[in-house]
Chains A and B, each alone.
Chain A
């Protein structure tokens, strides 16, 4: 057995659980689990790695769509397998009987408890919905496929 440099897998899971704070000021409020939300964005938007928080700019609008999106169902705590920490929402994101006439291709997950701070941006083929349902189906919650992974 020899020593090896690594980011500890437990730390990766801890990051997803909000355990560590490297900043000079601890700004996290509350000790309970945060509420996360998912919002949809137009194909003309410019979300990406530089996105820092939820914004209504370029968000879709239409019948039965509420600005800010839907609450993410979070019944499964982050975990790890091998050296990868991961997390996946425990239910798909669904919008029912919506009409979204302008093409959209992006979903932003953000933390509505922590000042709407951004988590991740997911893109997919450009879509419209007419008086129908839109569903983003979650992948398997494992180290290869989970929606959010720290490898």
Chain B
């Protein structure tokens, strides 16, 4: 299998893969870094939003 990188298509066997999981205040991300030797040649990011956006719809009072 070949993987698309900044060096063009590179054989998967030549690449070293590192997965990094980060958790922030709003999100959780999984980053996959692909290295050819010491050089970063591809970086994929998948972000999951953890905190949705909400609005409060409250009825007012007659005062």
Name A residues whose Cβ lies closer than 8 Å to a Cβ of B: 5-7, 11-12, 97, 99, 120-125, 127-139, 144-151
Contacts and interface: CB of A to CB of B under 8 A. Distances in A.
Given A123-B27, A130-B6, A148-B53, 18 more contacts: A5-B59, A5-B61, A7-B59, A122-B53, A125-B24, A125-B26, A125-B27, A129-B44, A130-B43, A131-B41, A132-B32, A135-B45, A137-B46, A138-B49, A144-B52, A145-B52, A149-B52, A151-B56
Given A7-B57, A149-B54, A136 B47 contact: yes
21 contacts: A7-B57, A12-B57, A97-B4, A99-B6, A124-B26, A125-B22, A125-B47, A127-B31, A129-B45, A130-B42, A131-B4, A131-B5, A131-B41, A131-B42, A132-B32, A132-B44, A133-B44, A133-B45, A134-B44, A144-B52, A149-B53
B2 interface: no
Tell me the dominant secondary structure on chain A's binding face. strand
Contacts of B29: 124-125, 127
Nearest to A135: B46
Contacts of A137: 46-49
Contact of B55 (A121, A133, A151): A151
Contacts of B26: 122-125
A116 B31 CA distance: 31
Contacts of B50: 139
A120 B52 CA distance: 10
A124 B53 contact: no
Contacts of A151: 54-57
